[in-house]
Amino acid sequence: MSSMSSVRSRRLSIPAAGAGILLFFVFTWPLVYLFSDGFKTPDGRFTLAYLVQLLGDPSFYRVIANTIIVNTGGTLLAASLGILFAFLIAYTDLPCKPLIHNLLLVPLVIPGYIITLAWMQTLGQGSLIYRLTHFPLYSHWGIILIFGVCNYPLLYLLALNNFRKISRELEQAATVSGCRKWSVFFHVTLPLSAGILINAMLLIFLSCLDNFGTVAFIGIPANITVLSTDIYKAVTSFSHDSFGSAAIRAIFLSLIAFGLMWASGRTTGGLHSVMAEKEDMSVRCSLGKFRIPLLCAALLILALINIMPLMTLVMTSLTKAMGVPFRPDTVTLANFEKIFRNSKCLNGLKNSLVLAMGSVSVCAVLGITVSYGTLRRKSKLCGILQHLLTFPYSIPGIILGLGLILTFAKPVFGISIYGSIWILLLAYIIRFTAVILRACNSAFATLDPAMEEAGMSCGAAAPSIWKQIILPLTSAPVLSGMGLVFLSSLMELTTSSILWSAGSETVGVVIFNFTSAGKTNMASAYSTVILLLAAIGFGLLKLSGWLAEWVRVRPAVRAACFTNERSMQS
């Protein structure tokens, strides 16, 4: 009976249940608190005063109207750009597709507020483009433009994948039935993608709702207030009822967000039966003599929306003051010098790096554990936690921030984290665990359980199986999820903007404060440094990937040598 040492049972252990309850409180309590605070007087009694006040306030309806106008406009612009490029890349024989594809994805890695900052200089008074076009950046149009250029990659990627999966025969059937080429696109391709496209547009609308940087940088000077800036203003007004009125606004915002999430959940599905399993990469639509002109047009658009603003950003960072033209004799490194002397800048970078590392570690442990528990152990607790951990991802960051302030304004169990860097870490963990969780879910779903079982049948115990089988085989998607969380935490602004305090500034907050104070050159220089650092980090990551590959290949070479040796002996 000696080999009966290991007993595996499905019973819930007490630590696991405790951790589950803790997570439940951390992830939902801030929102519960927020919702109740909208209906509570400062001394704790129930009141409808905030609601009545808000509904009677005509400026609130202007805020709603502004929100709807800029978000709808931005979503439509993003959708047109995304569908256009997805069609070109998926179906046509446009040259240089990989280059265009990569250029299209630039806004995915650069935070929206830095893009906004870049556009502020590109279209600022006195700039070349402004003199040519007189485009009013500080207006609804400006916000719509930036929402569009920041958000189209999501729709582009989803549409691209979907277009490629549409079975070619469906389109050929339409052609055989006498449909013209463009007709096929509008009568077959687009309707087949409608579900995905609408879903993507809802997500973009949601992301515009969540946006803070753009509407703060452009909207506040232009006196265009939207829901998130309205809440920000309410929180930072420091009047006796500021939290209450912010909370009631936040309830409106979250109701809209939930509504959108619910709608997007309903639009997916259906139609999938006609989709091919694999992506069809072949050319379906030959451009003929338009190939080169279209390539030039595409590159021009991309240069205009993705490259030029960033170049202007770098140029601004190299000039002494706003409005000084960029010439060889005006180039100066003074802004960079100031930044490296400025303790807030350095502190911000340090804080963001620490926060990013902290949130990646916690999110990874949570994500991997819960995902493995759900997919392999079929744990009910983990199944519940899945929902719990993904749910805050759909809530606008400003609401999460507000909820955390309200929850932790007074010490909880004697621990006070408000006003310290810890509340930011908590916020990032709540916001970003969903990203890694999704990455892990798809990684574990594609990993054949037989891989682990083969390890067990070879005598390996759990630690070896994780180290030698599970982690190496899931590392690519899990690491890319972790990279995304790292980048998002490093550049986070929305929640940080209301949770930061002196000493706990983050990168986003420093840029935000420079911009609000009118120090655009400093903000640009700081953004340039951050982008450079991010690029270097990305390069190092790639390099380590190659190194890892090299290390992995070595044993293969050794085994081959061993084989040769043996065959020579015999």
Phi, psi of 40 (to 5 degrees): -130, 135
Segment near another protein (CB under 8 A); pick from 96-104, 230-238, 333-341, 456-464: 456-464
If one asks whether residue 172 binds another protein (CB under 8 A), the answer comes out as no
If one asks whether residue 13 binds another protein (CB under 8 A), the answer comes out as no
Segment near another protein (CB under 8 A); pick from 4-12, 152-160, 380-388, 399-407: 4-12
Q: How far is residue 185's CA from residue 196's CA, in Å, rounded to a whole number?
A: 16
Residue placing its CB nearer to another protein in the complex, 456 or 535: 456
Kindly state the smallest distance separating residue 2's Cβ from another protein, in Å: 7
Kindly state the smallest distance separating residue 464's Cβ from another protein, in Å: 6
Phi, psi of 46 (to 5 degrees): -70, 140
Residue placing its CB nearer to another protein in the complex, 7 or 502: 7
Q: According to CB under 8 A, which one of 169, 279, 337, 453 is a site residue for another protein?
A: 453
Q: According to CB under 8 A, which one of 303, 357, 458, 517 is a site residue for another protein?
A: 458
Task: Write the secondary structure of 405-450 as one string of H (helix), E (strand) and C (coil).
Answer: HHHHCCCECCECCCCCHHHHHHHHHHHHHHHHHHHHHHHHHHCCHH
If one asks whether residue 445 binds another protein (CB under 8 A), the answer comes out as no
Q: Which long-range contacts (CB under 8 A, 24 or more apart) does 139-144 make?
A: 139/222, 139/224, 140/66, 140/69, 140/70, 140/73, 140/224, 141/73, 142/218, 142/222, 143/70, 143/73, 143/74, 143/214, 143/215, 143/218, 143/219, 143/224, 144/69, 144/70, 144/73, 144/74, 144/77
Q: How far is residue 18's CA from residue 250's CA, in Å, rounded to a whole number?
A: 30
The two tokens of residue 478 are 């899990």
Segment near another protein (CB under 8 A); pick from 269-277, 373-381, 455-463, 522-530: 455-463
Q: According to CB under 8 A, which one of 473, 479, 483, 533 is a site residue for another protein?
A: 473
Residue placing its CB nearer to another protein in the complex, 278 or 554: 554
N residues, the chain:
570
Q: According to CB under 8 A, which one of 450, 502, 551, 568 is a site residue for another protein?
A: 450
The two tokens of residue 10 are 């499905």
Residue placing its CB nearer to another protein in the complex, 194 or 479: 479
Q: According to CB under 8 A, which one of 107, 348, 403, 455 is a site residue for another protein?
A: 455
Residue placing its CB nearer to another protein in the complex, 517 or 559: 559
Residue placing its CB nearer to another protein in the complex, 57 or 565: 565
Kindly state the smallest distance separating residue 476's Cβ from another protein, in Å: 10
Segment near another protein (CB under 8 A); pick from 24-32, 146-154, 444-452, 512-520: 444-452
Q: According to CB under 8 A, which one of 322, 460, 479, 533 is a site residue for another protein?
A: 460
Kindly state the smallest distance separating residue 161's Cβ from another protein, in Å: 24
Residue 412: CB atoms within 10 Å: 13
Q: How far is residue 156's CA from residue 389's CA, in Å, rounded to a whole number?
A: 27
Interface with another protein in residues 548-567 (CB under 8 A): 552, 555-557, 559-560, 562-563, 566-567
Residue 3: CB atoms within 10 Å: 5
If one asks whether residue 415 binds another protein (CB under 8 A), the answer comes out as no
Closest C-alpha to 443, from 471, 485, 478: 478
Q: How far is residue 179's CA from residue 470's CA, in Å, rounded to a whole number?
A: 50
Q: How far is residue 498's CA from residue 250's CA, in Å, rounded to a whole number?
A: 13
Kindly state the smallest distance separating residue 332's Cβ from another protein, in Å: 51
Question: For residues 356 and 506, is the Cβ–Cβ distance under 8 A?
Answer: no
**DSSP secondary structure of 133-149:** H---SSSHHHHHHHHHH
Kindly state the smallest distance separating residue 454's Cβ from another protein, in Å: 4
Question: For residues 267 and 202, is the Cβ–Cβ distance under 8 A?
Answer: yes
Burial letters 271-281, b for 16+ CB under 10 A, else e: eeeebeeeeee
If one asks whether residue 454 binds another protein (CB under 8 A), the answer comes out as yes
Question: For residues 41 and 244, is the Cβ–Cβ distance under 8 A?
Answer: yes
If one asks whether residue 456 binds another protein (CB under 8 A), the answer comes out as yes
Total residues contacting another protein by CB under 8 A comes to: 35
Kindly state the smallest distance separating residue 437's Cβ from another protein, in Å: 24
If one asks whether residue 180 binds another protein (CB under 8 A), the answer comes out as no
CA 392 to chain centre: 13
Residue placing its CB nearer to another protein in the complex, 277 or 448: 448
Question: For residues 299 and 101, is the Cβ–Cβ distance under 8 A?
Answer: no
Q: How far is residue 33's CA from residue 48's CA, in Å, rounded to a whole number?
A: 16
Sign of the CA dihedral with 125 first, then 129, 132, and 136 last: negative
Residue placing its CB nearer to another protein in the complex, 48 or 451: 451
Closest C-alpha to 336, from 349, 324, 352, 319: 319
Phi, psi of 38 (to 5 degrees): -70, -15
Q: According to CB under 8 A, which one of 137, 305, 469, 482 is a site residue for another protein?
A: 469
Kindly state the smallest distance separating residue 373's Cβ from another protein, in Å: 18
* Per-position x/- string for 237-256, each x denoting binding to another protein as judged by CB under 8 A, each - no binding: --------------------
3-state class (DSSP) for residue 293: helix
Kindly state the smallest distance separating residue 549's Cβ from another protein, in Å: 11
Kindly state the smallest distance separating residue 350's Cβ from another protein, in Å: 36
Q: How far is residue 302's CA from residue 287's CA, in Å, rounded to a whole number?
A: 19
The two tokens of residue 384 are 């519940």
If one asks whether residue 4 binds another protein (CB under 8 A), the answer comes out as yes
Kindly state the smallest distance separating residue 452's Cβ from another protein, in Å: 9
Kindly state the smallest distance separating residue 453's Cβ from another protein, in Å: 6
Segment near another protein (CB under 8 A); pick from 108-116, 327-335, 464-472, 483-491: 464-472
CA–CA distance from 328 to each of 204, 319, 525 (Å)? 41, 10, 17
Q: According to CB under 8 A, which one of 178, 343, 459, 550 is a site residue for another protein?
A: 459
Please report, as ranges, the residues that interact with another protein according to CB under 8 A.
1-8, 448, 450-451, 453-461, 464, 468-469, 472-473, 552, 555-557, 559-560, 562-563, 566-567
